Amino acid sequence: MKKKNNKTGYEATKRLRHRDPRSRGGRARDEENRTFTAIQHTFQLPRYLQSLEVRNYSKTTIANRYADLITFTTWAEQRTLTESNSITKLHLESYQRFIWRHRKTNGKPLAISSQRKRLGVVKDLFKYLTKNNHIPANPASELELPRAEKRLPKQALSLTEIKTILNCPDITDPLGIRDRAILELLYSTGIRRAELTNLELTDLNPERQTLQIIQGKGNKDRVVPVGKTTLTWLEKYLDEVRPKLLINASEKSFFLTSYGEKFHPDVLSRQVSKQIQQAEIGRPGSCHLLRHSCATHMLEGGADIRFIQQLLGHAKLETTAIYTHVSIEQLKAVHEQTHPAEQKRPKK
């Protein structure tokens, strides 16, 4: 009879750390080892992706475009559309309907933004094929994308909900300290999940209380402030936990998984979602919810929107401006002060 293993947290993962990486499941870390089928060579996918590299597109962008184009070429091959110069506007409109009808594993359709992204990648591919004389004319030039939705993001977390989430990890366990440091950093700085997973040890400057984001979205660098409380948790993680997780002495990643490796963004999302779920605040969420709450709370606290733009790393102020629509506290205050129905009536 096998003895039941009641170990949890760090102790439960110690025995897993020396397993063959190939047996761990999940997504492969090296996304650059791509193989191309005959039809994908016909559509010049290798050269197109290489052109993106030459133009200094990020690895994440190239990987996402590769995945979207695999979907398109698979659709084309299933319909015997195996020559790039045989594709017409009618074919692309048919693909657009295919994307529109597609349902995710949860039965829901793709968001309009996802549909626009997938079709936009196909339009860019055919623009490349035409420009480089692989096809005589561009069948995607007049393909109309779905109208973009102007929807507000989800309501930000309250300060009480934030406190509940931050206190959720079990800080008596090394992994709980790591998870607390991750949650603290996401809320304090508003950085993106990919930016957090790409952090290295040298990116934190404890003396200046700053964090350097190298090659963030759009391959742009920026420096963001780190709150004192968050800095305390980061230093506790670095001093007490990271040495226990480290397997390869050359690993530079700031946050390490139980396997001593850099986090994959999807793994990080699942981890944060799990913490939010365990907090039992009655609503789902992940890394972006903490980023969104950081910006909203700063705006409600009186921060200039231009500083929030710099913190979040938005290229355009219009992207940051959406938080002015979400932040209701300032509007409530103005409403109370100026609306006639809210004014105190003079005593008779």
Catalytic choice (34, 91, 217, 236) = 217
Task: Write out the E strands in 70-191.
Answer: none
> 144, 286, 316, 290: which is closest to 230 by C-alpha?
290
Q: Is there a catalytic annotation at residue 292?
A: no
Burial class from Cβ neighbours inside 10 Å (0-12, 13-18, 19+) for residue 289 reads buried
**Angle between helical axes of 112-131 and 45-54 (0-180°, round to 10):** 100
Sheet holding 204-205, edge to edge: 204-205, 210-213, 222-225
Partners of 256 in the β-ladder: 262
> 182, 218, 185, 178: which is closest to 294 by C-alpha?
185
> Is 308:295 a contact under the CB 8 Å cutoff?
yes
How does DSSP classify residue 37?
A: -
> 106, 119, 33: which is closest to 68 by C-alpha?
119
Partners of 103 in the β-ladder: 109
Q: Is there a catalytic annotation at residue 192?
A: yes
Q: Token digits for 296?
A: 């909203």
Catalytic choice (180, 291, 292, 297) = 291
From CA 106, how far away is CA 108, in angstroms rounded? 6
3-state class of 138 per DSSP? coil
Catalytic choice (178, 193, 292, 314) = 314
> Is 136:129 a contact under the CB 8 Å cutoff?
no
Q: Is there a catalytic annotation at residue 291?
A: yes
Q: Is there a catalytic annotation at residue 237?
A: no
Catalytic choice (65, 192, 264, 297) = 192
How does DSSP classify residue 190?
A: -
Q: Is there a catalytic annotation at residue 314?
A: yes
CA dihedral 88, 90, 92, 97 (to 10 degrees): -170
Write out the catalytic residue numbers: 192, 217, 288, 291, 314, 323
